[in-house]
Structure 1
């Protein structure tokens, strides 16, 4: 009868079932006799009672979460609060906020006795082994699927919030990098003649001129060009799926690489794998939303004083782009985009994860807690996100300039046309020097730093809200 109960309740935990039967069947005849079962239960109950009393510091005959947490700390076991809460709730069958000895014994009765390390560690390991099996014995695998979808949702929300907040800076960046007129000579001359203040003023003049020109062309709304007449439309239409795909693909890549490394735990993959996963997530997202990206850039470059506005401009820009080469025009510069996106996304996400891991390890060591409970707060997350994003954007910025000029060629603001990657690179350096490859870098950094700060803060908070780990 006992064997039948065990097989029914734990049919997906074969190894544990074999251990239990081996422990009860002391005669080794493959059968569990009543006397064997009675001895096993009495022995297990004595051991569990001793462990229960060692945890019950106030000796009131029941355990609360604080006592359980203190017991794990005394045993030198750093356990995440989330996991400890799950362990407690699983044992607290009547949900009264306490664990009685009966509940403790009934749950841990078949915990293997031949464990290495402390009894508490064995109890937690036993819990981890059976929580994936429900009362009917079915494995609860659907949570992985729901968690995977959750990363897409978290990415979409964080991307939409971030892009809306920084859209004007993106508009200013595009205006500067498609403007092919050289602007550095005056500032350089002032610097050479010993006038640093004048040099700084002249160096900032292109940005001031760009702001004035954009305002004159359409006021505040023009700083959100690349959107529909209703406001922050096209940018959000682009960034929400892009951010969702980027983060979702990143998490999926981590799981794949964890299996490839042989341990199956995405949280334990190597630093190199994290960078690779970040790059793969970025490339996947870039490919999926590239036509919308091209349309946005072309729309920004068709927004001029006295021209069409809103949805009329959007429709005409889309028609012109399609007439210019159809799908091929929509994916113009894709090679550069993917080449640039891999290192950018790898550096951004990989650096953020590396900095976050270093931070949590340091805090966990300092406070003597588990790393999962030492995650950075919003301010620290914002600083880490700004640092990683600015680094990634700076490294790949020249590729971003060339790609954007390929995408926007033949528009009102960028009339030159190119035959390909080599042609746009040659003409850019020939007309503007190497500095032309970094045109618009300042507003780009000013946009990327707060944008990535907002993105990472939103993403980390959304993960907490959705219960993703």
Structure 2
């Protein structure tokens, strides 16, 4: 009867495991299990399971999400696939709320015999029957995420504003492309210096910060929300689910702040300097509301793969780091977080840079000294005809010098602030 009951619960046992379990259950050795003996067995098991539950529940909120379960499994030295983990979590999550209560966790482990193959348990959940040989919080709230993302974006963009202005001037094609990258970048830097000394290198940074604070904050929050909506198991989202969530989050954030992107580019390219209000008034007067969204199409075409690759890669890399450092009982350091940001942002930028350049040319279209384009197709065609394929990557080197530290600092600041807020909340 015990063996049959275990099999109905999806637990296959060997003869040795069954004898061992019966020995634990049958306290008086009469070869029958009374209700009191079963209760005593469950009480003893429950104490052990509570300790395991506390160990796996990393944030101590009384619930286990799939990410915590993954880390707990890996700390135990078990190797299971994402498919097995998702299936196991779904099977254990009886109320389908995306988190495991102690009762749900206990229900799964209570009658698991000592010596059972844990990897096979997960495989059984994945296939809804044992196939092995038995003998063989929300960690922080939305407002806090907005604050962390906003501060992270402002710090990173301000730190790299001089490089960003040089990159924008090179992308706009205002300087001759001959002579190599270093001479052109040097000429741009000298031109900026002659405009107004060191302060001129931060021209347009006000618009950049005004743009990037809501953009970065919205991107992070939207990514979390979309991942929960799109992923079958948000704590253990697949690579494709992360890509889709990241792309849509980036597109939404870019659309919301795009008028400020126009302002930032035009202020950066203005030799004498002008206010944000002056630029907006001028665009509305000469081009209408549509002028504030000039270049949005290539921007959205580019931002989806950029944000998708960036956030997907960063999320995957951070999860891998978290699992590795969970083994030694600590979180990844700032250096590791910077490495994740650099790797993810570089991959995304190399893929989408030509669209970024076309967007900048369209944003500057019609300004004094700048050509006018009817749309992204004409713009890209003229760049290829005049400058060749290399023209689509003009300004890449300063962009690398700017984007890598900017994105890395942004991710690192965001994670440090989020961790601080979680600890503060626990206190």
The normalised TM-score by structure 2 is 0.69
Are residue 179 (structure 1) and residue 173 (structure 2) matched? Answer: yes
Alignment counterpart, residue 250 of structure 2, candidates 279, 282, 290? 282
- Equivalent residue, structure 2, for 1:273: 241
Instruction: Decide whether the 8 Å contact of 2:219 with 2:250 is kept in 1.
Output: yes
Are residue 330 (structure 1) and residue 313 (structure 2) matched? Answer: no
- Equivalent residue, structure 1, for 2:212: 239
Are residue 249 (structure 1) and residue 217 (structure 2) matched? Answer: no
Q: 1:460 to 1:117 in 2, by over 3 A?
A: farther
Query: How many residues end up aligned between the 2 structures?
Result: 329
- Equivalent residue, structure 2, for 1:97: none
* TM-superposed deviation, 1:319: 1.9
Instruction: Decide whether the 8 Å contact of 1:295 with 1:321 is kept in 2.
Output: no
Distance 1:299 1:456 in 2: 27
After TM superposition, list the pairs within 5 Å mapping 1:8-407 onto structure 2. Answer: 44=39, 48=43, 72=52, 79-83=56-60, 115-117=110-112, 147-184=141-178, 186=179, 202-227=180-205, 233-258=206-231, 261=232, 265-302=233-270, 304=271, 307=272, 309=273, 313-364=275-326, 367=327, 375-407=331-363
* TM-superposed deviation, 1:376: 2.1
Instruction: Decide whether the 8 Å contact of 2:140 with 2:421 is kept in 1.
Output: no
Distance 2:217 2:282 in 1: 29
Q: Which has the larger radius of gyration?
A: 1
* TM-superposed deviation, 1:207: 0.8
Instruction: Decide whether the 8 Å contact of 1:173 with 1:440 is kept in 2.
Output: yes
- Equivalent residue, structure 1, for 2:419: 464
Unaligned runs of 5+ in 1: 1-38, 56-67, 88-106, 120-142, 187-201, 228-232
- Equivalent residue, structure 2, for 1:417: 372
Instruction: Decide whether the 8 Å contact of 1:169 with 1:447 is kept in 2.
Output: yes
Distance 1:383 1:173 in 2: 23
Instruction: Decide whether the 8 Å contact of 1:418 with 1:424 is kept in 2.
Output: yes
Distance 2:187 2:339 in 1: 30
Distance 1:286 1:335 in 2: 11
* TM-superposed deviation, 1:150: 3.1
* TM-superposed deviation, 1:46: 7.6
* TM-superposed deviation, 1:49: 6.1
- Equivalent residue, structure 2, for 1:193: none
* TM-superposed deviation, 1:166: 1.3
**What SS class does the counterpart of residue 359 from structure 2 fall into?**
helix
Instruction: Decide whether the 8 Å contact of 1:151 with 1:251 is kept in 2.
Output: no
- Equivalent residue, structure 2, for 1:4: none
